[in-house]
A and B are shown apart, each in its own frame.
Chain A
């Protein structure tokens, strides 16, 4: 790739892929931006008019918006906390030598391969169901009143379901990071008088910093757009107690047929995601530097 000629050739070769990706991104983004400035309702086709920032005003002053924003942040934060802490704990357990470790590792990773709709349905009907669910059965067996999880603790229940799906991802990444920890370093710390807890906080955790950063960043990107789990379990309810931003946009667009407001919501969501990303990179991105 040294000469001018090869560089030019390389640009030509790459151009179709780059143009394809660019179009793929720009067209929907452009259309969303365009729609967000129109009064555009599917129930009144052919009556689109330009409304300026009317849709934004409508979307941002909707009381549901702030609830959804809070729910989004709670869902992301709660899932992150559960998967990072739980993943570290599980990874340390799986790093110990024990009989049948290969099979146990496979089983731990399995939830990641279950699609969100399926896992949410399994949780809804087989585990959290107040009559047929396993938790209800356990509660009754212990003499307690069964909890109707999705009705009384909807956001918490969805956080649990999402965290269950993402825990294997965190575990897997943290486990590989753990395995790259030099054994002699742990032994040196042991000889220096550090107990297991001190070794964890002084040696293991700093070593995991990068992996934890990567897990946090990647999960945040995906968790901001959680949708399937909400759709098949609570449908955003009761009321709007488990509605997050993507779900609110879905309500606007496909339940109220208000494409204009939904587009405005989409643009707001993009801006919010970028704000979160900037904060995250500022806070923990320095760990990624070598």
Chain B
């Protein structure tokens, strides 16, 4: 139920290989997040799974059945689009009922299902409204409602929160996570926001230029990034990646150390530098330090800190927290 397998899936758009070849296993009930910078092919991959694009070669299996040539509607997947893609001339009720109506379900059953979905999503009071009369968060919920009434094997989300404001995004993130807990259905979620990826996923798939860079749980990716790209992409603020002499000292082409692991001292340490910008967030302070012979290094210090622009500080990376990468960028 809801297991999806990709075997050597490729996609070309007029001669350009957008996805050069992807193998991926998604187990039943998993919350998988595809994350990567824009243009990395994550949405294309999702659309290939949905059937909205045809694969150039390779096989897509859903529950062990070859679904490569199946029409989107016959894959028993439901998708939530970035623009929500609600039908503007239909009421909320009719929007949610549409897939059931298309499936030829009797009117009474449709009514029961739509009302149940509306209760789950707090939409009961809005069933008679048109999408144009709803707020962004409500539209998002209608789109999710339209997806859940079909009781699909898996949900596909294409950057569903990118049109919402920051506060609402945090709320909807929680709601989607809760929905996953209660439905226990496979969910594939595409985002460029690594915070969404880290907070929601059981399994993160990091994509870069159509290739899978690494697959793993959020903490695996955080602790053991497979290469420089993943190291730089996962984590906020970004990991400091340092090349040259300081890296050679650790027998590596590049070394990486996360800002939150750097130890700070005002007296002595491995790297001496001058504080450029200090960003005080209250709970943390981000220090952008200009280190001699290395360049800019970011350090994240918890608590309130009395350090300002122009102060001289020393930074020490704890040896066990240093990530080492070779000439190809692969972790050693």
Q: Is the CB of A207 within 8 A of B82?
A: no
Q: Is the CB of A191 within 8 A of B72?
A: yes
Q: Is the CB of A187 within 8 A of B81?
A: yes
A289: CB under 8 A from chain B?
Answer: no
Q: Is the CB of A191 within 8 A of B52?
A: yes
Q: Is the CB of A182 within 8 A of B85?
A: yes
Given A187-B52, A188-B79: A193 and B85 within 8 A (CB)?
no
Interface residues on B, range: 20 to 34
B146: A residues at CB distance < 8 A: 188, 192
> Which of B77, B87, B146, B150 is most buried by chain A, counting CB atoms within 10 A of its CB?
B87
Given A190-B73, A192-B73: A182 and B50 within 8 A (CB)?
no
Q: Is the CB of B89 within 8 A of A191?
A: no
Q: Which of A31-39, A198-206, A262-270 forms contacts with chain B?
A: A198-206
Report the bound CA distance from A185 to B98 in whole Å. 12
Q: Is the CB of A190 within 8 A of B102?
A: no
Q: Is the CB of A194 within 8 A of B102?
A: yes
B91: CB under 8 A from chain A?
Answer: no
A62: B residues at CB distance < 8 A: none
Within 8 A of B (CB), among A150-205: 182, 184-185, 187-194, 198, 202-203
Interface of B is mostly: loop
Report the bound CA distance from A35 to B241 in whole Å. 93
Shortest beta-carbon distance from A85 to chain B in Å: 20
Shortest beta-carbon distance from A55 to chain B in Å: 49
B83: CB under 8 A from chain A?
Answer: yes
B90: A residues at CB distance < 8 A: 206
Closest to B132 in A: A290
Q: Is the CB of B87 within 8 A of A202?
A: yes
B50: A residues at CB distance < 8 A: 191
Within 8 A of A (CB), among B78-109: 78-79, 81-83, 85-90, 98-99, 102-103
Report the bound CA distance from A154 to B79 in whole Å. 55
Closest to B99 in A: A192
Within 8 A of B (CB), among A225-246: none
Shortest beta-carbon distance from A114 to chain B in Å: 36
Q: Is the CB of A192 within 8 A of B82?
A: no
Q: Is the CB of B77 within 8 A of A191?
A: yes
Within 8 A of A (CB), among B55-80: 71-73, 77-79
Contact of A191 among B78, B82, B87 (CB under 8 A): B78
Contact of A188 among B51, B71, B81, B89 (CB under 8 A): B81
Q: Is the CB of A188 within 8 A of B85?
A: yes
Shortest beta-carbon distance from A94 to chain B in Å: 22
Report the bound CA distance from A7 to B259 in whole Å. 63
Q: Is the CB of B79 within 8 A of A189?
A: no
Shortest beta-carbon distance from A210 to chain B in Å: 10
A182: B residues at CB distance < 8 A: 83, 85
> Which of B72, B82, B86 is most buried by chain A, counting CB atoms within 10 A of its CB?
B72
Given A190-B52, A190-B73, A192-B73: A207 and B79 within 8 A (CB)?
no
Shortest beta-carbon distance from A220 to chain B in Å: 24
A202: B residues at CB distance < 8 A: 87, 98
A206: B residues at CB distance < 8 A: 87, 89-90
B73: A residues at CB distance < 8 A: 190-194
Shortest beta-carbon distance from B132 to chain A in Å: 9
B81: A residues at CB distance < 8 A: 184, 187-188
> Which of A182, A185, A188, A194 is most buried by chain B, counting CB atoms within 10 A of its CB?
A188
Shortest beta-carbon distance from A288 to chain B in Å: 14
List chain A positions with a Cβ less than 8 A from chain B: 182, 184-185, 187-194, 198, 202-203, 206-207, 209
- Could you write out 6 A-B pairs with CB less than 8 Å apart? A187-B52, A188-B79, A188-B146, A191-B50, A191-B78, A191-B79
Task: Report the 10 A-B pairs with minimum CB-CB distance, sorted nearest first.
Answer: A192-B99, A193-B73, A188-B85, A184-B85, A193-B102, A206-B89, A184-B81, A191-B72, A185-B85, A194-B102
Beyond the given A191-B73, A191-B78, could you list 16 further A-B residue pairs with CB under 8 A, ordered by the A residue number?
Answer: A182-B85, A184-B81, A185-B86, A185-B87, A187-B81, A187-B85, A189-B87, A190-B71, A191-B51, A191-B77, A191-B99, A193-B102, A194-B98, A207-B88, A207-B89, A209-B89
